[in-house]
Structures are given as C-alpha cells and as structure tokens.
Amino acid sequence: MPARVDSNDSIAGIDRIDRIDILGIPFDSRTRASAADAAMELISAPGADVPFIVTPNPEIVRLAGKNPRLREAVLAAALVLPDGVGITLAARILGRPLAERTPGIDVAELVLERLAKIGGSVYLLGAKPGVAERAGARLCEKYSGLILAGARDGYFTDDAAVIADINAASPELLLVCLGSPKQELWAYDNRAALKTRLMACLGGSLDVFAGDVRRAPPVFRRLGLEWLYRLAREPRRIFRMAALPLFMLTVLREKIAPRGGGKKEARE
Ligand code: UDP
C-alpha cells in the first residue's frame, strides 16, 4: 500500500492534508475545484520563493525516479496534481484512490476564471513563437477581466532576459509551458528570482488555449482516454507512451512487494 501522508504539513501556506505516495511522488488528492481553491490561496499569500504547481503523468514519475534533480523539483512543488489516467489507476491498484484526476489544463481554466473576477494578471511563457500571444488573446476574450501581463515563446536561450521581462510585468500567475522535464526544472531553478505569485507547469496547454491543438472530445475525457485521442492524432507520441506499461509494471511490483514493507512512511 502506498504511503499516505496525513499531516499538518504546509507548503507556502496551504495545507497539504491528503497526499498519496505513488512510486516516491506525493500526489495531492483533491478535486479540481479544491485544487483551484488552493492555487488561489497561494496567489493571495506571497512568500520568498514563488510556489509552483506540477502535474506529473506516468512518464514524469518514471523520469523522476531516474533523475534526482527532477525529483527534487517535483518534491519542492506546492501542489502535485495527478494528470493522466495512469496515475489515478496506479493509486487505485495500490489501494489508495485519489479524489479525482486533475488535469493541469482544467485546473488552470478554473484558476483563470477566478483570477479574471478579481482583475488578476497572467503571463504566458512557452510554445512556438506567436502561440502564447494568440492564447492570451483568446483567454482574455473568454475570461473577461483577465489581464494579459505578457506572452513569450518557449524557445529562448537567455534566461535572464526572460526573467527580467516577467519581473517587469509582475503577474499574479505565470504559466510555464515548456514541456517536461524542462518546465519543472525551469520553475524550480528560477523560483527565487521571479516576481510572480504562482507558477503552473502546464506542458502543451498554450497550444490548446491558442486553438492550435484540440483537446479530446468530452466522452474520451470522461472515460480517461484522452491519451488515446492524442495518440491517434499524433502517432509519434507512441514512443513517449511506452513509459506507461513500464510504469504499470513498477506499480504492480510495488503492490506485490512494497518497498516500505507496507508501512506508513512520511516522505519529508
Ligand atoms: N516547448 C517549448 N520549449 C521547448 C520545448 C517545448 O516551449 O524548448 C513547448 C512546445 O512547443 C509545446 C510544449 O512545450 O507547446 C510541450 O508540449 P507537449 O504536448 O509535448 O507537452 P506535454 O503536455 O505532453 O508535456
């Protein structure tokens, strides 16, 4: 059985009351609405280091097992939200189901909606040139009141110039959409230098917000088959998805012979 961490632990002021360990990564068990609540709490409580949200899928969990810096970055996140049906399935197999699957893009939409209501601002970082600007225009149209503090593509080499641009805009929310593991490492490495309230690492979300990539139809999402839809549209993803069966095998091994001998373990 995976470790469950019930404690008063708090990161950046929010309680992480129900975390479930899956292969060494403590996932926050929350509904999408509760994840958005926590994000808004983070935005309203400034701290020294900028808190950040990560949404690992099975590929990232496996990578974090092999890459200590990525693991360190994920463990430093204020919220670790389960993205991908592989994670929720693993949690069920291991006997501790998560509240629900919380795809980063869904939580981000809820946060943007709430941010718009208080006239908050967002900076969009990532994707190919022009995409972030178009994503910003569409988001501002959808969420009236939202301020686009800035937008920049994700193919930069000069970190300092990007950080200076973001700091000049000083947005409430910064979406870091550079793909994994680049975005998690970038957020982690620059969290002390950035002037923003919260970062969210969101992979290919700007392509979706810009209207360049379509999300799976609702029926696929409901059944947890968004990955199948993406695979059908982008067959080259098959190599990345090879991580899924290996991840499930590791989960089954953990179920049969838990590393901690089935004992409860606090990870931090
Ligand atoms: N990307 C980027 N900079 C890079 C590499 C990738 O901005 O150096 C962007 C890429 O254009 C895409 C996103 O990061 O918009 C990654 O999308 P993908 O669908 O691969 O991410 P996932 O959501 O699967 O992690």
Q: How far is the CA of 109 from the centre of ligand 1 (A)?
A: 18
Give the atom of ligand 1 at the shortest distance from the alpha carbon of 131.
Answer: 15
Q: How far is the CA of 40 from the centre of ligand 1 (A)?
A: 25
Q: Give residue 265's pLDDT.
A: 41
- CA distances 190 to 53, 171, 183, 202, 245, Å, are 14, 15, 11, 16, 33
Q: Give residue 106's pLDDT.
A: 95
Peptide linkage before 103 cis (omega within 30 of 0): no
Q: Which of 63, 178, 201, 244 to mutate to test ligand 1, by most ligand atoms within 8 A of the CB atom?
A: 178
For residue 17, pLDDT beyond 80: no
35 occurs within a structural domain: yes
265 occurs within a structural domain: no
Give the atom of ligand 1 at the shortest distance from the alpha carbon of 125.
Answer: 7
Smallest CA separation from ligand 1 atom 4, residue: 178
**Shortest CA distance to 71 belongs to which of 183, 185, 191?**
185
Q: How far is the CA of 44 from the centre of ligand 1 (A)?
A: 28
Q: Which helix (H) or strand (E) holds 79?
A: strand 79-80
Question: Which residue range forms the structural domain that includes residue 141?
Answer: 4-259
Q: How far is the CA of 15 from the centre of ligand 1 (A)?
A: 30
Can you tell me whether residue 226 is helix, strand or coil? helix
Contacts of 130 (CB under 8 A, 6+ apart): 153
264 occurs within a structural domain: no
267 occurs within a structural domain: no
Contacts of 242 (CB under 8 A, 6+ apart): none
Total number of domains constituting the chain: 1
268 occurs within a structural domain: no
Q: Give residue 126's pLDDT.
A: 98
Contacts of 268 (CB under 8 A, 6+ apart): 9, 26, 75
Give the atom of ligand 1 at the shortest distance from the alpha carbon of 204.
Answer: 17
Q: Which helix (H) or strand (E) holds 52?
A: strand 52-54
- pLDDT grade for 259, boundaries at 50, 70 and 90: confident
266 occurs within a structural domain: no
Q: Give residue 239's pLDDT.
A: 78
Give the binding-site residues of ligand 1, using a 6 Å CB cut-off.
Answer: 126-128, 154-155, 177-180, 182, 203-204, 206-207
Given a contact cutoff of 8 angstroms between Cβ atoms, the answer to whether 194 and 167 are in contact is: yes
Q: Global pTM?
A: 0.90
Smallest CA separation from ligand 1 atom 17, residue: 204
Q: How far is the CA of 207 from the centre of ligand 1 (A)?
A: 9
- pLDDT grade for 243, boundaries at 50, 70 and 90: confident
242 occurs within a structural domain: yes
